[in-house]
Structure 1
Amino acid sequence: MLPKHNRLRRSRQFSQVYRQGRKAVSAHLIVRVWAVPQGSAPSPAIGPCVGIVVSLKVHKRAVVRNRLKRRVRAAMRALLPTLRPNLWIVISLRPEATQCEYGEFLRELEQLFTKLEVIHGHS
């Protein structure tokens, strides 16, 4: 589980990211990132906030969807220290993700975050 201060929990937050965020797509993931303006987030210095979306289109069985979410969460835990603090991130899984393992999720997330320039050291 991600720490509570690193989770998107409200529908408004997800909507904000969908409306104003930038998007990058890979074979198994869709990542949307919104840089929160200073002063509008409760405490942006704590770190990025992440939400993970796995729809019924990915797999009908909840057991499979939850397993996929756990794998993505584990990959995000490894990447959180490398991300800028003032971000809201929504990760959506595509139906092809059912074939993915942890290592593939980690690699794809690194590539997408580099493409979106949200890793420390990128502008």
Structure 2
Amino acid sequence: MALSKANRLRHRRDFTAVYQSGVRRNTTHLTLRALRSPLGGATGVGTGKVPTRIGISISLKVSKQAVIRNRIKRRIRAAFRCLLPRLSPGWRLVLVVRPTAVECDYGQILRELEQLLAQAEVLDGD
């Protein structure tokens, strides 16, 4: 199950903006880049706020096998779905996967992702 369309970062210009101007936080297996969205743009369904949009970047350096890269992306999407209600609205996030992430299980990805989001002050209440 994928993230909803409103929560997906889809355009190259959005990824580029996050890479150029966003803050960067690192853990052993993941790197988070986060950028506060401008006030304009599409609004969330019924909320009147710009939803947080998420993109995942995983290169061939992580693994040459698409099966392994896709498994990692599925685990990351599942972790984001779990954390989505706690995210502050109006952020653009890009999660870059490092080659060491091949050895991670879902629990470890969830813990590191939560740590990264807290460091970048994207989680509500943190």
Q: TM-score, normalised by structure 1?
A: 0.94
Aligned partners of 1:47 and 1:86 also within 8 Å: yes
Task: Count how many residue pairs are aligned between Structure 1 and Structure 2.
Answer: 121
State the identity as a percent: 47
Deviation at 1:121, TM superposition (A): 1.9
Deviation at 1:22, TM superposition (A): 0.4
Q: Separation in 2 of the partners of 1:26 and 1:104?
A: 11
* 1:8-47 to 2 correspondences below 5 Å: 8-39=9-40, 41-43=41-43, 45=49, 47=51
Q: Which runs of 5+ in 2 are unaligned?
A: none
Residue deviations 1:2-28, cap 9 Å, x none? 111100010001001001100100000
* 1:93-108 to 2 correspondences below 5 Å: 93-108=97-112
* 1:19-98 to 2 correspondences below 5 Å: 19-39=20-40, 41-43=41-43, 45=49, 47-98=51-102
Deviation at 1:46, TM superposition (A): 5.0
Q: 1:117 aligns with which of 103, 111, 121?
A: 121
